[in-house]
Amino acid sequence: MTLRLFDTATRAVRDFVPQTPGHASIYLCGATVQGEPHIGHVRSGVAFDVLRRWLAAHGSDVAFVRNVTDIDDKILVKAGDAGRPWWEWAATYERAFTWAYDQLGVLPPSVEPRATGHVTQMIDMIDRLIVNGHAYAADGNVYFDVRSYPDYGSLSGHKLDDVHQGESAGVGKRDPRDFTLWKARKPGEPSWPTPWGAGRPGWHLECSAMAEFYLGASFDIHCGGLDLVFPHHENEIAQAKCAGDEFARYWLHNGWVTMGGEKMSKSLGNVLSVPNVLKNVRPQELRYYLGSAHYRSMLEYSDAALAEGAAAYRRIEAFVARTVERAGDVPIGSWTDAFAAALDDDLGVPAALAEIHGRVREGNTALERGDLDAALTVAGQVRAMTAILGVDPLDPHWTRGGGDDEAAHAALDVLIRAELDRRQQARADKDWAVADAVRDRLAQAGIAVTDTPDGPSWSLEDKK
């Protein structure tokens, strides 16, 4: 395997060489479970699920840790505003995130630790930092002394004089650039006992302690969104290094989902929740869309872009479905060299998708000329490649739990949508004869087509 990855720490594309041959260890910063997940939240899950699948496809045993931040200022505020217990609020939205990841076919992590379950490890790390002269206690709080770590800012490129942690001055803080490891208890807030007083952990401390506990003092890859580079990941590195850990050997960051050029966030009020988006497209179509851009690039959301991504996926799906209809089955084959080269080049999904769509065109041509053997070979390749991207049209995940009736409806939907896409293209080309012929053929099969502002929809005609 010749996988090359862009490492944020070195600002260069590096050959990926795991510290243990045949094993890859990955830590992904997961959700702060304060509310309903939107599509910006789950992009990292999709992006790094592809990395995990690609490593596993080459025989690597992948240890994949994705944490849950279930204690945080925002969780406490929102739970308080709603008059609900903080732990219930966190658990409710942890389930919402789990549901969203599962809907999009993101593989479950090897372990999904909660911050509240690892306070013991956090206390141990704080103790080491104090002993090593990198942290200090003050009035029940514990702070990290940023000036004690000469390499602070190496990940983000921040200069020490320009550092702003984005947190309050803090009682007893010696320097505003220092960040909080442990927060002293406040009335009405949850707390845990420590040698420095009762309180709760700081956000940055959580991930350093959990990564060390599950993956060791040194592990391969740390992933997360671009917005986490500073201060979160910068502070993780400082804590871990000063506590004696080598910590992550590669740092990968995915770009944001944006709207109008701005990062999608709750504060901007431009949230598209996963449940709401799934009212308009199927889970596999949303996953295809979220994973279609390069993971490091920004993904500008629009309804039209989502619809275009869904239509592109249906073209792949329709080819595989037509091949199944003629051959009865399509076993998974092997990916192509061009596909492998694309993913080995810093997970180049756009180039990988271009290869898939090129093979789909070849497969459709083979079907049109009646060469079923050639079409089967291509369809097997397409299944192998889309499986790595998590969107294999025949993956049982997409029809699970629905029984034979739902599976049959899903297959019918694929074929009808392909015809509707053909009709839409004919109408765009002003080829009214072809457009009318498609509609008439569907009508003869008992399928009613309705044109809406969001595109055509279909339903089975009621013959009663």
The secondary structure of 277-304, three-state, reads HCCCCCHHHHHHHHHHCCCCCCEECCHH
Residue 256 confidence (pLDDT) above 50: yes
pLDDT of residue 399: 80
- Please indicate whether residue 332 or residue 418 has the higher confidence score (pLDDT): 332
Distance CA 117, CA 135 (A): 23
For residue 251, what pLDDT band results from cuts at 50, 70 and 90? very high
For residue 261, what pLDDT band results from cuts at 50, 70 and 90? confident
Domain annotation covers residue 157 = yes
Domain annotation covers residue 367 = no
Residue 121 confidence (pLDDT) above 70: yes
pLDDT tens digits for 279-304?
999 999 999 999 999 999 999 999 99
pLDDT tens digits for 366-414?
999 999 999 999 999 999 999 999 999 999 999 865 444 455 566 677 7
pLDDT of residue 404: 46
Domain annotation covers residue 67 = yes
Domain annotation covers residue 176 = yes
Residue 464 confidence (pLDDT) above 70: no
Boundaries of domain holding 221: 4-254
pLDDT of residue 408: 57
**C-alpha distance from residue 265 to each of 41, 157, 168, 298, 400 (Å):** 9, 24, 22, 14, 32
The dihedral built from the CA positions of residue 412, 416, 421 and 422, taken in this order, carries a sign that is: positive
- Please indicate whether residue 60 or residue 412 has the higher confidence score (pLDDT): 60
pLDDT tens digits for 141-151?
999 999 999 99
Residue 76 confidence (pLDDT) above 80: yes
Q: Is 181 helix (H, G, I), strand (E, B) or coil?
A: strand
Give me the mean pLDDT over the 177-199 stretch: 95
Residue 454 confidence (pLDDT) above 70: no
pLDDT of residue 402: 46
Domain annotation covers residue 332 = no
Question: CATH code at 228?
Answer: 3.40.50.620
DSSP designation for 35: S
- Please indicate whether residue 126 or residue 445 has the higher confidence score (pLDDT): 126
Distance CA 19, CA 178 (A): 32
Lowest mean pLDDT among 34-48, 161-175, 209-223, 366-380: 161-175
Domain annotation covers residue 331 = no
Q: How many CB atoms lie within 10 A of CB 117?
A: 13
Domain annotation covers residue 134 = yes
| Count of structural domains, the chain | 1
Residue 154 confidence (pLDDT) above 50: yes
CA end-to-end distance (rounded Å), the chain: 60
| Tokens encoding 163 | 């550092």
Distance CA 285, CA 391 (A): 8
Domain annotation covers residue 217 = yes
Q: What percent of the chain has pLDDT over 70?
A: 94
Residue 462 confidence (pLDDT) above 80: no
